[in-house]
Amino acid sequence: MTAEIVNLRKARKARDRSAREAEAAENRTKFGRTRVERELAAARDDLAVRRLDGHRLDRPPKPGKDDA
């Protein structure tokens, strides 16, 4: 019943390697889109904002209009 001997240097390097791989995977999904995909996402976001603003009950005053 002896404990398994662990090389701490190798364990630390393996931990760091897996952390870097996880960060790389996250960056691939975050930045690895084509131009068409980015433009489509921007268009969808813009449409969602316009739809949300269209359902406002109290509209902000338009710029350039003086109420005075």
Distance CA 52, CA 49 (A): 5
Q: How confident is the model at residue 65 (pLDDT cuts 50, 70, 90)?
A: low
In which residue are the tokens 């449409």 written?
47
What's the whole-model pTM score? Answer: 0.43
Q: pLDDT, tens digit, for every residue of 9-50?
A: 999 999 999 999 999 999 998 888 888 988 999 999 999 999
Q: Which amino acid is at 47?
A: L
Indicate the residue type of 53: D
